[in-house]
Structure 1
């Protein structure tokens, strides 16, 4: 059991350290009624810096809650970001840190 706690602590440290200028892929899940034969469930929207990807989700998609909640950010350096709460947290960090 102590090993499980230690693994969780290491994982949260890793996911907390994001490079906001890292290039990521922004995906969105398609709505059930938009799916047809041969369509994937996820659709790539853009490749852009993490800072911009979280801004798109929070700011540009604010009027489309389904799209906001179905946003997926794929990072080459770490785990995929699937949680809107984590995207909001990163948005807050991006707002506080200066861009280069």
Structure 2
């Protein structure tokens, strides 16, 4: 029974609907050599709708793999998105989701 509950929980996480118009903060972690006294480890790039934030990371940052991998999207409605794989998955989902 516990495995069924776990499987359902994982499936619900994977199939969770996202509000692509939700305003989010896009952060970029700084490179180790860019850090100095007084610098934070992450800097806010912009406040954008989720759809625009994931598009910026996947398309505009395509030539900078470190920047793609260090992107963090902070949502108010759910936990932050910290992995590039999840951002890329959301990008693919947003392409087929109608824009409002």
Aligned counterpart, 1:55: 55
SS of corresponding position for 1:28: strand
Partners of 1:22 and 1:6 lie apart in 2 by 29
Deviation per CA, 1:5-64: give whole Å up to 9, x if none: 735743652463211110000001000000010111011000000000000000000000
**How far apart in 1 are the matches of 2:18 and 2:11?**
11
Aligned residues: 99
Counterparts of 2:20 and 2:12, CA distance in 1: 16
CA distance change for structure 1 residues 73 and 11 in 2, over 3 Å: closer, same or farther? farther
Secondary structure of 2:25's counterpart equals strand
Q: TM-score, normalised by structure 1?
A: 0.88
Gaps of 5+ in 2: none
Query: What are the ranges of 5 or more consecutive residues in structure 1 without an aligned counterpart?
Result: none
1:10 aligned residue? 9
Which stretch shows the higher mean deviation, 6-15 or 75-84?
6-15
Whole-Å separation in 2 of the counterparts to 1:29 and 1:12 = 30
- Residue 79 of structure 1 and its aligned partner are, at CA, apart by 0.7
- The 1-side partners of 2:86 and 2:65 are apart by 16
